[in-house]
Amino acid sequence: MSAPGPAPVALATWPTPAEPAPRLAEAVGLAPADLVLKRDDLSGLGGGGNKVRKLEHLVARAVADGATTLVTTGAPQSNHARLTAAAAARLGLEAVLVLPGAPGPVRGNLLLDELLGARIAWAGDVDAAGLDAAAAAAADDVRARGGVPVVLPFGGSDAVGARGYVTAGEELREQVPDLAHVVVALGSGGTMAGLVAALGADRVLGVDTGATPDGRARVARLVDELVGDGHVLPGDGGAPPAASLRIRDDQVGDGYATVTPGARSALGLAARTAGVVLDPIYTARALAGLVAAVADGDVRPGQRTVFLHSGGLPGLFAHDLDAVR
């Protein structure tokens, strides 16, 4: 078992609400009392979202290491990058966000990145390895200027960041003790891994968003590391094999950055039956995955189901709104 590390930095007020959603439940084919929304979009810092839980642990480690600057990577509309900038602003640190591509319209998360005082380093047309190399170069530049950089992982998803979702799973066990399913968007893997470590693989349904080509392997590796760190699974305490993870890959569509027909439908469904706004890349895909899971019997009426709203609203305003209506 590895050392637990420093105590998390307080960046939000927990627990987030667990709200009933009877009209949305009926709209997706469940009974009115079946569906609960776990509102991690209401985590507060920098517009809220699931990355705040991860950053409480990641930033604590960075501060313990003497960081003056947080460096991280992500897509141009990265929620993790936005919230890294917000955490840095809260704590008086600098933030460098290393993003693929070149400067373009400043809207959605990019607008908030600038408002929060982050420096954006555009990496050009690079793959994942190239983006990591650009982050390393940005860290070298910080050192050359006399600073102390700490590079945070893509999506905040390593075993340290995933501890935040072990805590979220523990919250859910108290808020919804009879839960049968937790439905969550699968991006960089840390959110799902923490929930699996807290609740077990049989109760967590991940809906792949296409953010990485190896989502299943990422989740399995992170769960294994969490178990090694002492975050013991219910039951025998062993990490589940990758094949046992419940992951749907039927909502990726034409790729991560696209708004799929299912996501468009889910956006309207949540807004018009629960007054809740999703984002088109993560949470809308996750809700579309829940609709599909009910249709094929993987999630059934009478089973208490939690939908994890992981935030991401600013990204909605970076899309052509005609594409999401």
DSSP string covering 279-322, please?
-TTTHHHHHHHHHHHHHTTSS-TTSEEEEEE---HHHHTTS-GG
Please name the helix (run of DSSP H) or strand (run of DSSP E) that holds residue 140, with its range, or none: helix 128-144
DSSP for residue 236 = S
Residue 78 annotated in active site: yes
Residues 6+ apart with CB under 8 A from 135: 71, 72, 73, 98, 151
Helix (H, G, I), strand (E, B) or coil at 13: coil
Q: Which of 2, 43, 78, 310 is catalytic?
A: 78
204-208 vs 69-73, strand pairing mode: unpaired
Degrees, nearest 5: CA angle 37-217-95: 70
Burial of 115 (0-12, 13-18, 19+ CB in 10 A): middle
Query: CA 129 to CA 197: how far, in whole Å?
Result: 28
Catalytic machinery residues: 78
